[in-house]
Structure 1
């Protein structure tokens, strides 16, 4: 079955605090070109005419801001209040889709705006057939291991 024949919804977790980003503003609200990163990700999925619903999960602090920014896409974008963990927030997003009962739900990190339609179609088809699917890429950065004193102890093999 082609992805275009399936009822597909997307859940975009965007309620994180961005602690590792080391900025006052969570990274999903950092600007890329002229818009926050989250908006680019939403629009990437919005342009796929075969995606019926998009749920953005946000913290209470940002819910009004995000809702206003995606008003242009209200025909298939819904903003939902997140929870205190990523796992629970994704659950909130999935529950927001109970009324539409999609064949496949894609969960995508909102700070990854470069979405390839063919890759997503492949994921959707495999998720439908196998019950779940995901994307992996070979690791390209160097991974180092340190000891309790933050001293380098090994450079890990990326080919394993």
Structure 2
């Protein structure tokens, strides 16, 4: 087992979503001759990651196994996820043994080794850490009735990214407590750890290229990023 700064590290890549906003399975879209799925998992499969778990939906198991294991021969374990994101990650956590857990969105294919290391270092030091970028837009708080209730202070508003990383005990207990309360809000693991364990995540500056492919417009941006990366590699 590899030891990273005195800790064993397990990574969970969440790929069990249905992609309803995109209209199709965005993980199977090709970017630069490689699916989003494979590109993301390859990016996370760093030498200092001891275990790499990919949470998937049952209907995609055969296809994802072929792409990641049979063809790409990546060192991953596939785990059937749940209906909610935190339920999928909880199942993925059961398949790990590391004392630091890294969680990353399967549709963020441009994460780098540098970003992963920075999040891991901060999680080791603070218990919980994540990436983000300062908001450049005005974020409004809107009530259920459709009326604006206020605005978030832009100087304190960040747009969250993954990966996020946590001490295993914090993440495990937060999942357990979330399940007991029938937690159903759309959220991320940093919110769960803060809400159920009282531990706020240290936020680090992410990267503008570390986008989440959610809409067809995001895919257009992703293609531009891939073209730039390929051109840079060819010039090197």
Taking structure 2 as the reference length, the TM-score comes to 0.56
For 1:6-155, what aligned pairs fall within 5 Å after superposition?
Answer: 6-21=7-22, 23=23, 25-46=24-45, 48-71=46-69, 72-74=72-74, 76-97=75-96, 101-141=97-137, 143=139
SS in 2 for 1:111: coil
Q: Which of the two has greater helix per residue?
A: 2
Deviates more, 1:101-110 or 1:5-14: 5-14
> Could you report, residue by residue, the CA deviation over 1:1-34 in whole angstroms, capped at 9, with x for unpaired residues?
x83543111101111111222x1x2222222222
- In 2 relative to 1, CA 52–158 (structure 1 residues): closer, same or farther, beyond 3 Å? same
- In 2 relative to 1, CA 156–88 (structure 1 residues): closer, same or farther, beyond 3 Å? closer
Deviates more, 1:109-118 or 1:126-135: 126-135
**CA root-mean-square deviation:** 2.6
Structure 2: segments with no counterpart, 5+ residues? 157-236
Structure 1: segments with no counterpart, 5+ residues? none
1 or 2 for the larger relative contact order (CA 8 Å, sep ≥6)? Answer: 1
- In 2 relative to 1, CA 77–4 (structure 1 residues): closer, same or farther, beyond 3 Å? farther
Taking structure 1 as the reference length, the TM-score comes to 0.80
User: d(CA) in 2 for partners of 1:8 and 1:148?
Assistant: 41
